[in-house]
Amino acid sequence: MRLQNLTVIFIIIILPVILLFSMYTKTQIDVLSLQETYTATLNVAVYDAVKAFKTNTLNDLTSKSAQSMIRDVNASINTFASSLALGFGVDGQNQDYIMQYIPALVYTLYDGYYIYSPVINQTTGEYEHILKPYIYYTVRYQRGNIDVVVNYTLDNYLTIYGNIGSEYVTKAGYLESLELLTINGDNVVYDGITITDSDAKAYYKSAYDFTQWVTDELGEITEGDAKPIGDWDQESYSQFAGHTQQILNFEAGNNPRDDNSIFNSHRKGIIKLSIQNNLNAAMASYSQNSSYYFRMPVLQDTEWDQILSNISVIGFMQGIPMGMKIYNGYSYVVNTMNKEMVTEDTVCFTDTNGKIHKYDCPQMIESGAIGHKQYLFEKIQVETTELVNGSYETTREWTFRTQSDYQNPDGSYDQFDYGSYELCYHCMVSNDYTSVINNTRRKLLLETVAREKYRLYNKSNELNI
Ligand SMILES: [Zn+2]
- pLDDT tens figures, 410-454: 666 677 888 889 999 999 999 999 999 999 999 999 999 999 999
Based on the fold, state whether residues 160 and 253 are members of the same structural domain: yes
Q: Do 299 and 276 contact (CB within 8 A), yes or no?
A: no
Q: What is the pLDDT of residues 18-53, one digit of tens each?
A: 666 666 666 666 777 888 899 999 999 999 999 988
pLDDT tens for each residue of 62-108: 556 677 888 899 999 999 999 999 998 887 667 888 899 999 999 99
The more confident residue out of 11 and 182 is: 182
* Confidence (pLDDT) at 26: 66
Same domain, 92 and 8: yes
The type of residue at 65 is S
Ligand 1 centroid from CA 312, angstroms? 26
C-alpha 50/C-alpha 311 separation (Å) is 9
* Long-range contacts, 247-251 (Cβ 8 Å, 24+): 247/221, 247/222, 247/223, 248/214, 248/215, 248/218, 248/219, 248/221, 249/215, 249/219, 249/220, 250/175, 250/176, 250/177, 250/178, 250/179, 250/211, 250/214, 250/215, 250/219, 251/178, 251/179, 251/215, 251/219
Shared domain check, 422 and 370: yes
Residues 6+ apart with CB under 8 A from 200: 188, 446, 447, 448, 450, 451, 454
Dist. CA 352 → ligand 1 center (Å): 12
Is 234 inside a domain boundary? yes
Structural domain of 394: 347-462
Q: Is the predicted pLDDT of residue 237 greater than 60, yes or no?
A: yes
Q: Is 265 part of any domain? A: no
Domain co-membership, 379 together with 415: yes
Asked whether residue 375 is domain-assigned, the answer is yes
Q: How remote is the CA of residue 433 from the centroid of ligand 1, in Å?
A: 8
128 and 25 in a common domain: yes
Same domain flag for 369 and 404: yes
What pLDDT sits at residue 47?
94
Which position has the higher pLDDT, 154 or 93? 154
Residues with C-beta atoms within 5 A of ion ligand 1:
357, 361, 363, 424, 426-427
Q: What is the mean pLDDT of the chain?
A: 87
Residue 239 lies in a domain: yes
pLDDT of residue 256: 95
Most confident segment among 25-34, 272-281, 283-292, 377-386: 272-281
- Answer yes or no: do 17 and 161 share one domain: no
Region 271-279 average pLDDT:
93
Residue 145 in this model has a pLDDT that exceeds 50: yes
The structural domain count of the chain equals 3
What pLDDT, on the 0 to 100 scale, is given for residue 463? Answer: 44
Asked if residue 458 has pLDDT above 70, the reply is no
Of 206, 233, 258, the one marking the end of a domain is 258
This prediction has a pTM of 0.85
Residue 151: Cβ within 10 Å count: 17
The whole-number pLDDT of residue 31 equals 73
**Final residue before a domain boundary, out of 258, 282, 300:** 258
If asked whether residues 317 and 380 sit together in one domain, one would say no
User: Are residues 152 and 131 both part of a single domain?
Assistant: no
Query: Which pLDDT score is estimated for 60?
Result: 65
457 φ, ψ to 5°?
Answer: -60, -40
Same domain membership, residue 163 and residue 232: yes
- Residue 22 inside a domain? The answer is yes
Ligand 1 center to residue 449 CA distance, Å? 18
C-alpha 347 to ligand 1 mean position (Å)? 13
Q: How far is the CA of 2 from the centre of ligand 1 (A)?
A: 78
Boundary residue ending a domain (258, 290, 320) = 258
Asked if residue 208 has pLDDT above 50, the reply is yes
Shared-domain flag, residues 320 and 366? no
264 occurs within a structural domain: no
Distance 431 CA to ligand 1 centre (A): 9
Give the residue among 404, 416, 257, 271 at the shortest CA–CA distance from 343: 257
Residue 356 lies in a domain: yes
pLDDT greater than 50 at residue 465: no
pLDDT of residue 257: 92
Residue 295: C-alpha distances to residues 232, 318, 382 (Å): 18, 8, 43
* Within a domain: 408: yes
Residue 300: is it exposed, middle or buried by C-beta count within 10 angstroms (0-12/13-18/19+)?
A: exposed
Which residue in 131, 151, 79, 82 sits closest to 282, CA to CA?
Answer: 131
The confidence band for 3, taking pLDDT boundaries of 50, 70 and 90, is low
pLDDT at 462: 45
Residue 14 has pLDDT above 90, yes or no: no
Shared domain check, 382 and 367: yes
Q: State residue 464's pLDDT score.
A: 42
User: Has residue 142 got a pLDDT over 50?
Assistant: yes
| Ligand 1 centroid to residue 89 C-alpha, Å | 42
Q: How far is the CA of 369 from the centre of ligand 1 (A)?
A: 12
CA 233 – ligand 1 centroid, Å: 48
> So what's the pLDDT on residue 157?
93
- Per-residue pLDDT reduced to its tens digit, 381-405: 777 778 888 888 877 777 776 665 6
What is the 189 CA–ligand 1 centroid distance (Å)? 27
